[in-house]
Amino acid sequence: SKETPHAGRSGSVSSPPFQAADYSQKIDVNPPKGTRDFPPEEMRLRNWLFQNFREVSQLFGFEEVDYPVLESEALYIRKAGEEIRDQLYCFEDRGNRRVALRPELTPSLARLVMQKGKSVPLPIKWFAVGQCWRYERMTRGRRREHYQWNMDIIGVPDVTGEAELISSIVTFFKRIGITARDVGFKISSRKVLQEVLSFYSVPETSFSKACIIIDKMGKIPLEEIKKELNSVELSTEAVDELLQVLSMKSLTELEEKLGAAGEAVSELKQLFSLAEKFGYSEWIQFDASVVRGLAYYTGIVFEGFDREGKLRAICGGGRYDRLLSTFGGDDIPACGFGFGDAVIIELLKERKLLPELPLEVENIVCSLDPDLQGAASSVATVLRGKGQVFKRAARINARRLILVGSSEWQRGMVSVKILSTGEQYEVNFDELG
Ligand SMILES: CC(=O)Nc1cnc2ccccc2c1
């Protein structure tokens, strides 16, 4: 029997004549489960949000980068029990390669930094706004894609990196009308956990697993948390001590527990004093329960939260000094954050801060006479090309209607109407430019 020909298959097999698909059955006009379309109005809001992401990133001297949405699955195979791993949108492509739609941007950044190696001087300050994917059983009806704004600083070993990143997010919030009364940042360090566990000679491999389990606090019962911590070789004594430290909300309390000599306390104190200098102290608080749900964080971690407590975390980030070595590279200190496009829009809706973004058109050119279509096109072309005369008008926030009428046109004139004021005047076509 004749094999059905494969696309891209060379050789003499003749493929059947192209059959237009038979759409007697109407196709499903909705996008795939968990994904969104962006019709014009939604697209204007998205562009407004992303424009603010980009302008803040550039204010802080970050350069924009991007990576393929499809990456090798190997970038995300971490064995710390992360949710992001269980929900990987992965498959085998036609070349039998294991690939995945990226669930986050940081591994791609690490890959590119390694690829660039010594050719890029440090510190590297890159930002990206990219679509990320997860494959969830639709039982939860949650989205399978979202856009994430990331800013990362590579090559800065001290907490000035984290201080600058938090400052950029505060700057973003202020630009869109969010204040320190609306949101705050919970800040801690994974070195708190490390120093507690070091008292109990817990194996290094348990560290990131313990972080992922602790990140589930408040989402699953405490008994379950304790059991899972036991299962990664934490003794009951270690677990009790840990839970007691994680409930701390003041650095003074933490210092009494861990002492002032350790890196955890000294780095947090340094970060809080830098926050004073940046002028965002009112936005941040120490909260030892923050660990974040990504395995690779090694130091300071932070998350933006809504003070009314109705929404999930707005953004999150921290230091990840070991990520490059897990990819077989040399370690370079790094820190960064991710900021999703979903929760922030929910927050703006809640606070009645969504911007009014009407369709904006500078000029409307209409011919009053069917055989003046060509003339109207000439006018529109001139306006699209230069339109200097109207830039001036635009400065006074004019919205104009340019009318091409036969009598005016015979005198080489077009009439201009400032719609906001109703004022109308004639302009010589030759002077339009
Ligand atoms: C609130 C929301 O949409 N979250 C969301 C949606 N899609 C994702 C896709 C990948 C990773 C995280 C994701 C997170």
Query: Looking at the predicted structure, is the pLDDT value of residue 5 above 80?
Result: no
The pLDDT score that the predictor gives to residue 50 is 98
Q: Give the pLDDT band (50/70/90) at residue 372.
A: very high
**132 - beta bridge partners?**
146
Nearest to 322 by CA among 78, 130, 83: 78
pLDDT-based confidence at residue 406 (cuts at 50, 70, 90): confident
Query: Phi/psi of residue 343, each to 5°?
Result: -65, -40
For residues 49-69, give the mean pLDDT.
Answer: 98
SS3 401: strand
Arithmetic mean of pLDDT over the chain: 91
Tell me the CB-side half-sphere exposure of residue 247, using CA atoms within 13 A: 6
SS3 173: helix
Contact 345 CB / ligand 1 (< 6 Å)? no
Eight-class DSSP state of 119: G
**Minimum CA distance residue for ligand 1 atom 1:** 342
Query: Mean pLDDT lowest for which of 189-193, 196-200, 276-280, 296-300?
Result: 196-200
Q: What gap in Å lies between CA 173 and CA 189, rounded to an integer?
A: 23
Percent of the chain with pLDDT over 70: 92
pLDDT at 1: 34
Q: Which amino acid is at 27?
A: I
Q: Is 105 in the pocket of ligand 1 (CB under 6 A)?
A: no
3: tokens are 């094999």
Q: Which residue do the tokens 């004639």 mark?
A: 426
13 vs 304, which has greater pLDDT?
304
What's the pLDDT score for residue 386? 59
> What's residue 394's pLDDT?
54
Question: Are 149 and 158 spatial neighbours (Cβ–Cβ below 8 Å)?
Answer: no
At residue 51, the 3 state secondary structure works out as helix
Angle made by CA atoms 172, 178, 184, in degrees to the nearest 5: 90
Pocket test for ligand 1, best of 84, 140, 143 (most atoms within 8 A of CB): 143
What is residue 116's predicted lDDT score, i.e. its pLDDT? 95
CA of 341 to the centre of ligand 1 (A): 9
Higher pLDDT, 10 or 166: 166
With tokens 């927050």, the residue in question is 347
* Residue among 179, 201, 427, 407 at smallest CA distance from 308: 179
- Residue 404 pLDDT exceeds 50: yes
pTM: 0.86
d(C-alpha 249, C-alpha 262), whole Å: 18
Band (pLDDT 50/70/90 cuts) for residue 6 is: very low
- How far is residue 286's CA from residue 248's CA, in Å, rounded to a whole number? 8
Task: Look at residue 141 in the predicted model and tell me its pLDDT.
Answer: 79
Cβ-based neighbours of 337, under 8 Å, separated by 6 or more = 150, 151, 165, 169, 302, 315, 316, 317, 318
Mean pLDDT confidence for 193-197: 94
Cα–Cα dist 396/391, whole Å: 9
Three-class SS of residue 92?
strand
Is 246 near ligand 1, meaning CB less than 6 Å away? no
Instruction: Report which ligand 1 atom has the smallest distance to the Cα of 144.
Output: 7
- pLDDT, position 3: 41
Query: Which of 51-60, 76-85, 148-157 shows the lowest per-residue confidence on average (mean pLDDT)?
Result: 76-85
- Report how far ligand 1's centroid is from the alpha carbon of 407 (Å): 60
The whole-angstrom separation of Cα 298 and Cα 318 is: 8
ipTM higher than 0.90?
yes
Say how many Å lie between the CA of residue 209 and the centre of ligand 1.
Answer: 22
Place of tokens 């949108």: 89
Strands 300-306 and 315-319: antiparallel
E strand map for 37-77: 63-64, 70-72
Q: Tell me which of 36, 132, 346 to substitute to probe ligand 1's pocket, judged by most ligand atoms within 8 Å of the beta carbon.
A: 132
In whole angstroms, what separates CA 13 from the centre of its chain?
A: 47
| Sheet of strand 284-286: strand arrangement | 63-64, 124-133, 145-154, 334-340, 315-319, 300-306, 183-189, 284-286
The tens digit of pLDDT for each residue in 222-277 reads 999 999 999 999 999 999 999 999 999 899 999 999 999 999 999 999 999 999 99
Task: Flag the least confident range among 83-92, 272-281, 296-305, 424-433.
Answer: 424-433
For the ranges 204-218, 373-387, 413-427, the maximum mean pLDDT occurs at 204-218
Q: Which residues contact 79 (CB under 8 A, 6 or more apart)?
A: none
What average pLDDT does the segment 72-88 reach? Answer: 93
DSSP assignment of 401-423 equals: EEEE-HHHHHTTEEEEEETTT--
Determine if residue 117 is left, alpha or beta; phi over 0 gives left, psi from -120 to 50 gives alpha, anything else beta: left
